[in-house]
Amino acid sequence: MRRLCALALLSLQLLTACAGPAGIASPAGLRVGRPLLASLEGALPEQAGAAASASEGARLGEVTPQQRAAEWSRAKAEMFSILSSRWAVGTTVVFRYWDCDGALTLDSWQQTTTGGEPGAPVAFAPFWRTPLPPLSSSAPGYLQLEWRREDGRWVILRARREASSRAPPEAKSLPVETSSVPAAAFEDLRRTAQKWLPLLHVSGNATARFTFGVDLMDGRRVDNRFPKRSTPHTDRSRPIEVPDDFDLQLAHALIPFAQGIGPSSAVLTVQPRSRSDGVLVWEVVSASVVRPFHGEPEEPFTRYTDYRLMHEEILRRWRAEVRDSAEWAATFTAEQLAWWVLGGVAIHGIGAVVEASAGPLVRVLTRSGPEAAGWLETLMARLPGTERKTLVTLWTKMEAEGLEALTQAEREELRAFFLRLDDLARSPITDKGGEKLRQIATRKFWEAFSSKDPELAKRLQEAGCEVHHRFPIEHAHLEPELNINNISQLVSVPNNVHYRINAIWSRLRTQKVSVRASDVRQVVGIIDRHFQRWYNNEEALNVTNLEAEAAKRAALDELNLLMSHMENFEK
């Protein structure tokens, strides 16, 4: 009968969609409605259109009252599933959640006091109606609720909020608009718990303890922790009974921790309680997240902040509706795709999707986050629509369900995509691809320049200065590991200077010479020497055509000398 009740409770958790208590958490103003990356303000027309036509929109960090209410609906169901197996009047249990703008991540729960005589059953409906104290706050922090068992009901004995400047590594920052527990994750934990049950058929006394744990990744169990046992034998030792529904109780004790983001570990402790007939029965008394002693978050969440935000948004949309998460990811810009892939590779491992090779991809991915992301962005901008769609579909599935969810065919398809990036980096850039890179370069350069010297940037733009690629787009394939859109490779020059710089490259282009990367670098040096006086400065506002023409002639003299030493040069 108890097992049937427990299964009915799980069904209730999976189906309930009632609204949670209003006013329990106020918005912290954290990234509400902001685009995916700070540098992309105004660069997401598809998402802006969606936001205008739908209440949710597609912008990262948008939080609604319905999402906060759903968080509390789920949290109350989680707490009830743990409390409902405790019948003794006077029992107290403390839950500790991290609360960020209404997003609730369980840190721990613990039975602090064991009661005496059993009380009347507690139904879910009256438990749900239990009023919560006003604990609103504009800052993230820990929320602690202490429940006390009374006859036929649970009441909140104490509630307090604890401010903290540092969120737990696994903490959510975005509430999820689903009040249900993840059914697949719960069933997996239940099957895992069934394997622990044989270990509990032991004798001991009231001091006996067992500790079980699991390692999680985005709420999915990926491994089990080695059980710890403490069952000292004394003259008072006797068999300890395992309740019929104990696998469900163990799963209910752990399932709230499946709401975390990224890697985490959760452990629970069981100990015997004495029934009125004197029989010892196992009971779950606590569960908590365990972290490394140094307390540092796991990579890539310390380095790739923008990736974490995208990753969390994908997860919360996936948990609500699979199709929506894939459609939302399909609106990513090239920069967003680059960060998304970079973070995913860091967390899942490059070896899982592509063979280590001498190609540029593997070497670039070992660089710093921004450097690698910038390089990837230039490739993502050049991807054909069909290849981009394939990447989004496979990457969304891997982000939400893990690499193990991909079929062998999907893994091969993903591996082929990464090898395709190597080929793309070594291939000449098409006219269409070059135009996309120029647009990205123009935006990035003026954003960076404006943040450094807004007045000068404004004057240069008003004067018609253009963004020049020091290493030309047409020769980028000769330096496949170079990000030609890196700020160090971009300069602003007036139109009359840019025209003459292009004439230098046209001279090289019209000659039938075998151009190597080293040759291009030398030409870049020639151009810099003769034209850099007008790079990014006030002098660019006053340069005359005569001065620009003189610089061109001097640069051509150097270029002609260089080309005379190249292969196949036609005099």
Give yes or no for a contact between 375 and 483, defined as CB atoms under 8 angstroms apart.
yes
Q: Are residues 491 and 422 in the same domain?
A: no
Give yes or no for a contact between 417 and 387, defined as CB atoms under 8 angstroms apart.
yes
Show which of 403, 426, 449 is a domain's final residue.
426
DSSP 3-state of 470: coil
Q: Are residues 155 and 8 in the same domain?
A: yes
Identify which of 497, 508, 425 has the alpha carbon closest to the alpha carbon of residue 468: 497
pLDDT of residue 324: 64
Q: How many domains does the chain have?
A: 4
- What is the spatial distance between Cα 72 and Cα 152, in angstroms, rounded to a whole number? 22
Tokens of 70: 């759903």
pLDDT of residue 354: 56
The two beta strands, 490-493 and 263-274, are unpaired
pLDDT of residue 246: 95
Residue 463 lies in a domain: yes
Q: Are residues 418 and 438 in the same domain?
A: no
What's 68-134 look like in SS3?
HHHHHHHHHHHHHHHHCCCCECCCEEEEEEEEECCEEEEEEEEEEECCCCECCCCCHHHHHCCCCCC
- What is the spatial distance between Cα 212 and Cα 193, in angstroms, rounded to a whole number? 9
pLDDT of residue 34: 32
Residue 570 lies in a domain: no
Residue 355 lies in a domain: yes
Q: Are residues 206 and 152 in the same domain?
A: no
pLDDT of residue 293: 45
- What is the spatial distance between Cα 97 and Cα 135, in angstroms, rounded to a whole number? 12
Residue 67 lies in a domain: yes
DSSP lists the bridge partners of residue 223 as 215
pLDDT of residue 180: 66
Residue 569 lies in a domain: no
Residue 90 lies in a domain: yes
Residue 568 lies in a domain: no
- What is the spatial distance between Cα 95 and Cα 112, in angstroms, rounded to a whole number? 10
pLDDT of residue 131: 78
Q: Are residues 160 and 188 in the same domain?
A: no
Q: Are residues 403 and 489 in the same domain?
A: no
Q: Are residues 283 and 359 in the same domain?
A: no
Show which of 123, 149, 172 is a domain's final residue.
172
pLDDT of residue 350: 58
Show which of 266, 297, 328 is a domain's final residue.
297
pLDDT of residue 27: 25
Q: Find the distance separating the first CA and the last CA of the chain, reported in whole Å.
A: 97
Mean pLDDT of successive 10-residue stretches along the chain, which has 571 residues: 40 32 27 32 30 38 82 89 91 94 93 86 86 72 94 92 86 80 85 95 90 91 88 79 93 92 92 87 95 50 64 79 68 85 75 59 80 91 89 86 86 86 92 94 95 94 95 95 95 96 92 83 96 93 94 94 70 48
Q: Are residues 217 and 119 in the same domain?
A: no
CA angle 410, 411, 416 (to 5 degrees): 95
Residue 289 lies in a domain: yes
- What is the spatial distance between Cα 543 and Cα 495, in angstroms, rounded to a whole number? 10
What's 181-236 look like in SS3?
CCHHHHHHHHHHHHHHHHHHCCEECCCCEEEEEEEEECCEEEEEEEEEEECCCCCC
For residue 95, the number of C-alpha atoms closer than 13 Å in the C-beta half-sphere is 24
- Could you read off the pLDDT of 5-35 as tens digits, one per residue? 443 343 333 333 232 322 222 222 222 233 3
Long-range contacts of the stretch 340-343 (C-beta < 8 A, 24+): 340/307, 340/310, 340/311, 340/395, 340/399, 341/376, 341/380, 341/391, 341/395, 342/304, 342/307, 342/369, 342/372, 342/373, 342/376, 343/300, 343/304, 343/306, 343/307, 343/308, 343/310, 343/311
- What is the spatial distance between Cα 377 and Cα 335, in angstroms, rounded to a whole number? 5
Q: Are residues 151 and 35 in the same domain?
A: yes
Q: Are residues 290 and 438 in the same domain?
A: no
Q: Are residues 223 and 187 in the same domain?
A: yes
Q: What is the DSSP letter of 36?
A: S
Q: Are residues 153 and 4 in the same domain?
A: yes
The two beta strands, 263-274 and 209-217, are antiparallel
Domain residues for 452?
431-563
Helices of type H across 488-544: 495-510, 517-531
